[in-house]
Amino acid sequence: MKPVKLIVLGGSAGSLQVILSLLAALPPDFQVSILIVLHRNGIFDSSLEELFSSRTGSPVKEVEEKEPVFPGTVYICPADYHVLLEKDHSFSLDYSERVNFSRPSIDVTFRSAADSFGEELIAVLLSGGNADGVEGLKYIKEKGGLVIVQDPATAEVPYMPAQAVLKGYVDFIVPAGEIPAFVGGLARPPLSR
């Protein structure tokens, strides 16, 4: 496996606590970019950047059009836009129709990230109430990326991860409490001898 350059976290209802735990576990020298695709509602829209920043020493910011992906930065998909990744590893925002009743759609971002990052990508699908992200995981696997799904038994809303497991588009099924250490371990470069 190539060194990981991007981790994309996709989640909906019940995923926030896992994301906060993962951010809190990031070491200060973590150099992998993280993109968070959340089905958002008004409650968290204005405060997500502030909330996530309070849990990590990494820079946290909402995605902006044509912005390059910087190492070690945590990006949040803005409400009501699909987020795409270009071949040059920059972001693009799209206001086209909803996919799986969602904008941002996890599937849209997963597919785009797979095209841009291929084998340098880890995708994590978390708790949620619809199947958004499941077909994107299939595409990520086809492009050589690594797929992790929250163990549905540990999900507040198990439908989303359960659909991924059912379809078989999964490399690892990981309980919620173990996701931060597991993802962090995969994303760290191997020690040189």
Q: What burial letters (b/e) apply to 160-182, b meaning 16+ CB within 10 Å?
A: bbbbbbeeebbbbbbebeebbeb
CA–chain centroid gap for 21, Å, is 14
Q: Of residues 15, 33, 102, 132, which has the active-site annotation? A: 132
The two three-digit tokens of residue 52, written as one number: 């996530």
Alpha carbons within 13 A on the beta-carbon side of 46: 2
Active-site residue, 89 included? no
Q: Of residues 15, 33, 39, 58, which has the active-site annotation? A: 39
Active-site residue, 39 included? yes
Rounded to whole angstroms, what are the CA distances from 4 to 29, 31, 119, 145, 162? 15, 9, 8, 9, 25
Active-site residue, 132 included? yes
Q: Of residues 12, 15, 33, 102, which has the active-site annotation? A: 12
Q: Taking a C-beta distance cutoff of 8 angstroms, is the pair 176, 150 a contact? A: yes
The two three-digit tokens of residue 78, written as one number: 């803005």
Helix runs in 4-61, H state only: 16-25, 42-45, 48-53
Q: Map 119-133 to HEC letters.
A: HHEEEEECCCCCCCC
Active site residues: 12, 39, 132
